[in-house]
Structure 1
Amino acid sequence: MTSLPVSELEPDYALSAYDYELPSDRIAQDPVTPRDTSRLLVIDAERNLLHHHFYDLPNFLRSGDLLVFNNTKVIPARMYGKKLSGVPVEILLMEPLGNNRWLALVKPGKRLPIGSTIVFAENVKATVEGIEPSTRARELQFHIPADADLDKIIDQLGQIPLPPYVTDSHAEPERYQTIYAEISGAIAAPTAGLHFTDQLFEKLQAQGVDRAFVTLHVGIGTFRPVETEDITQHIMHNEWCEVPEETIAKIKETKARGGRVIGVGSTVARSLESSNYEAFKGKTNLMIYPSYEWKVLDAMITNFHLPKSTLLMMVSSFLGKDGREFLMSVYQEAIAKEYRFYSFGDAMLLWK
């Protein structure tokens, strides 16, 4: 799509139309305990707003429905080291490149040109061998002992990276993982899944609600700011995902018997829409915004998202005609009702 002058942009395509003011005390710093006692704002098919708690979710599902989850696991992607001069360095691992190479965001970036060395431990170093143009991330070649395993070293030296807006959290690292996290590779949690508990799963299973899984390793693409006022010109960074044949089969079976498919989180939505009803393994840079024609999901569970984020654009699209205007009014209602926002915050259930 060719970029239009800002004055000619339709509001749904204008970045500024996705902005809103959020009081700082609405940004959740810690998750609630138990997980499923978070609040749940339900938007039904007639756009009524219903205020509940997450443990009420079974009341809105029925036997034969299918919940689809993202089973990615957050890795301890934040690491601290020093330059040879002693200057402290912080890195955020983004994507493995093979052969002990990683793409990583670095601080301070200006002081880490190609050829720089970062020392993490006595026998663990990394050399900057390239710079990725779109994100300015560094291509790091790690140098470790011949008999060492880099993944194990990262587990030992790294820390789970909480989002930058979580500045005063007392949460243990496992609270930033879903209880079904299995496949390591994400640098951020698929936060819509943080609300589920074993007890809630037992209740849903007894009710006849099935579940299936995809894997999308949440990367910088999900959180990278949109820098163009014309959102159609934003290019998403690739994220790796897999939609297994078993999951596609369950989705088709569910649809055939009149059941409904509910995606738990925006990452599940992107994975399934990228698959287009076929097993899929690879990278996706799919960006979803108003006018997108949804193919798979009947409902979505999601948290409250940052202003001007691609996630806000996706949810606006899911709500259909006038979805952006309606969603922005819902957010104002949620602020007034003192819902908790972002990763450790409350959730929404949206029916198409």
Structure 2
Amino acid sequence: MSQTCTRKGCGKKFDRVDESECWYHPGPPVFHDALKGWSCCEKRVISFDDFLSMPGCTKGVHTTEVEAPTPAAPKPAASAAPTHVDKDGKEVYGAPVPQKSEEGGAPAAVPQAVKPTQQTINETKKVDLALLDDPEDAQIPLGAKCKRNGCSVTFDGSNRDGCVFHPGTAIFHDASKGWSCCKRRVLEFDEFLKIPGCKTGKHLYLGPKEEEKTNVVEEVDCRTDFYQTPSTVIVSIFAKQCEESKSTIEFYEEKLVLDLLHLGTKRFKTEFQLFGPIVPEKSKYKVMGTKVELTLAKGNGLSWGGLRAGESGAGMIRFGVSGRTGTIGGKEIIYRNQS
């Protein structure tokens, strides 16, 4: 009876352990910004499908044993020391030092929200693989693997129906892993691969034609960080090589709408309620080579406990230390007489 190899990057069926060689990845997967790969290899790819099809780098024999998960390294404790002290004597926690312009004056103003024209939107029209089906008269080679996310079925000559897959995209946020179409999140990569599909349909063995692949835009998740000052919230969205003319950035009093096209064929699309109100006309953004930075003007000056409504865990806030007593960062403690 044939068995399936459990080594990462292999997954082939075998009858005897010494029957054929096994090429696998001994290291854990690595996901950094939009890049994906294995710690034992130097190669990095952007597409999740390309990541799953990366050939192994180590030769061995097949096995059915499940590798024990590697314990996560403990995170270093956050430092309570300020990042720097500005010229007014204020300690800044977590905020980067503002960069001056080349002329030595004030930093250049960043543009406000823009919307792409209908022409640029049409140029990047998405071909949704979840909505595609192979033609009924298509000649499918035996052994072809289904291209839908979460499905590993191969064509045996008749199995065209019964596909169980994920119509969404893979999401890797901090240590959690899952699919955008499902609520389930797991920690281990092996468990992520085992998350059952949430939609049924026909198998997709061939996929889009070569001339259609240039129009395929993959929806991905981008890492988002933020910190805050008493009057603003600065958000960094790590979308590399973002195309400003083909992206949408909209500020509203209580929500943020983003549709960022980056790396040519990757789209980060999200809309969420903000933790607190902002002033849209005073909010700005700046497109950089490795990220998009948003400056949200607070509507009430209160500290935010998170970026999205309902989140907990405050971002870094800037405290003043100019006073000698009676203020945060003061240099003396004053006890009030309670008589």
Q: TM-score, normalised by structure 1?
A: 0.19
Q: Which has the higher helix share?
A: 1
Is the radius of gyration larger for structure 1 or structure 2?
A: 2
